[in-house]
Amino acid sequence: MNPLLSHLQPYPFERLRQLFAGVTPPANLSPISLGMGEPRHPTPQFIKDALCASLGGLASYPATAGEPRLREAFAGWLGRRYGLAVDPGTQVLPVNGSREALFAFAQTVIDPSRGQPIVVCPNPFYQIYEGAALLAGAQPWYAPSDPARNFAVDWDAVPAEVWQRTQLLFVCSPGNPTGAVMPLAEWQKLFELSDRHGFVIASDECYSEIYFQGGPPLGGLQAAQQLGRHDFKNLVMFTSLSKRSNVPGLRSGFVAGDAALIKSFLLYRTYHGSAMSPVVQAASIAAWGDEQHVTDNRTLYRKKFAQVTPLLAGVMDVALPDAGFYLWAKVPDALGLTDAEFARALLAQYNVTVLPGSYLAREAQGSNPGAQRVRMALVAEAEECVEAALRIVQFIQKSRTA
């Protein structure tokens, strides 16, 4: 067996299952889960129709690079959304969801023969970053988030000697779990560091279409273009239909950026067997070509967050995020509970599931920045999310007087 597998930590939801072992929630309260970030709004009918209409394509092996029409759909969306002009033949590539692509990209980029490579990632973070780094033979380094800046990552906290050994940087904007969006000045800082030290930037942007205030979040390629980096040197962005179009089961997304990196990634994926099904390609072309369903989806999230956030803000330190569909809430100090104890007691007393923030972060530089926070995914219908919020309010108020 690959000895690097022993370095992997249990996934957060496995830890949650262990935490809840032996808990019997009250039978008179229906279960409500805010734990898993899985979109639950209905899949648009036109996407399902496109999927069904293309079933004849199952008789053919798909190309790893995808059909030209699909790559053109990616390029077209990048043009409409970010004002970018990319080459569909060399600068975009289909992937089976951003999760598998983020993992595979690290295996493509990391050169373990070049002396103890480092992969820098935010802390807290999407757990695939860590696993991808470890199985590529690299050492993760966790850059802390700053609560004073709505949990934006503090890139200045990364020492110079760490940057010198860094081969890959994972950026998540809008962030999971905090929802923070990186401004242009931060992108410029990272590009300058990449130029100085030669590392690659993988920009995870799968939450880019769910936002609450002002215009759409700045993307990595968009930032590069604004700074005159038209070749997107050492930069690849990752996006997905899962959150944007409510099709997590479709497993469809794409990467775009530096043509040289895309070429190497295509080579890796050709041998890895990562071609997208022709049926999925057809549905994806339809989804990337339509924006009305994305606007409607965003409206649903905005209404939910407008209802739920004020309720919880009355009893917890929590604020509307920049983007994404999570609330990153602080466990009240007066309760005397850790984030894990809070989650377990909430399930036991009110049948509501939340994810402990410490499960999404690592102890680094003397602290776990996810400790005493919980992540709440507002993915269910508004009525269910409001009911969950009301139960959390009752739980906190009752626990304070106990």
Give residues with Cβ within 8 angstroms of 377, minimum separation 6: 34, 35, 36, 37, 38, 325, 326, 355
State residue 146's pLDDT score: 85
Q: What is the pLDDT of residues 46-93, one digit of tens each?
A: 999 999 999 998 998 999 999 999 999 999 999 999 999 999 999 999
State residue 65's pLDDT score: 97
Q: By the 8 A CB rule, do 65 and 93 touch?
A: yes
Q: What is the pLDDT of residues 316-351, one digit of tens each?
A: 999 999 999 999 999 999 999 999 999 999 999 999
Q: What is the largest CA-CA distance in the chain?
A: 65
Confidence of residue 155 (pLDDT cuts 50, 70, 90): very high
State residue 156's pLDDT score: 94
| Alpha-carbon gap, residue 325 to 318, rounded angstroms | 13
Number of CB atoms found within 10 A of residue 364's CB: 15
Mean model confidence pLDDT for the chain:
95
Task: Report pTM.
Answer: 0.95
Confidence of residue 159 (pLDDT cuts 50, 70, 90): very high
| Alpha-carbon gap, residue 272 to 247, rounded angstroms | 24
Confidence of residue 373 (pLDDT cuts 50, 70, 90): very high
Q: What percent of the chain has pLDDT over 70?
A: 100
Confidence of residue 120 (pLDDT cuts 50, 70, 90): very high
State residue 237's pLDDT score: 98
Cα 80 from chain centroid (whole Å): 22
Q: Which of 176, 106, 171 is nearest to 139 (CA)?
A: 106
Is the pLDDT confidence value at 366 over 90? no
Q: What is the pLDDT of residues 9-58, one digit of tens each?
A: 888 889 999 999 999 999 999 999 999 888 999 999 999 999 999 999 89
State residue 402's pLDDT score: 66
Is the pLDDT confidence value at 147 over 90? no
Question: What mean pLDDT do residues 352-356 have?
Answer: 97
State residue 367's pLDDT score: 85
Q: What percent of the chain has pLDDT over 90?
A: 90
Confidence of residue 173 (pLDDT cuts 50, 70, 90): very high
Q: What is the pLDDT of residues 236-295, one digit of tens each?
A: 999 999 999 999 999 999 999 999 999 999 999 999 999 999 999 999 999 999 999 999
Output 113 or 253, whichever has higher pLDDT: 253
Question: What mean pLDDT do residues 393-402 have?
Answer: 89
State residue 151's pLDDT score: 83
Q: Which of 65-79, 148-162, 283-297, 385-399 has the lowest mean pLDDT?
A: 148-162
Q: By the 8 A CB rule, do 359 and 370 touch?
A: yes
Is the pLDDT confidence value at 401 over 80? no
The residue type found at 287 is A
Question: What mean pLDDT do residues 196-215 have?
Answer: 95
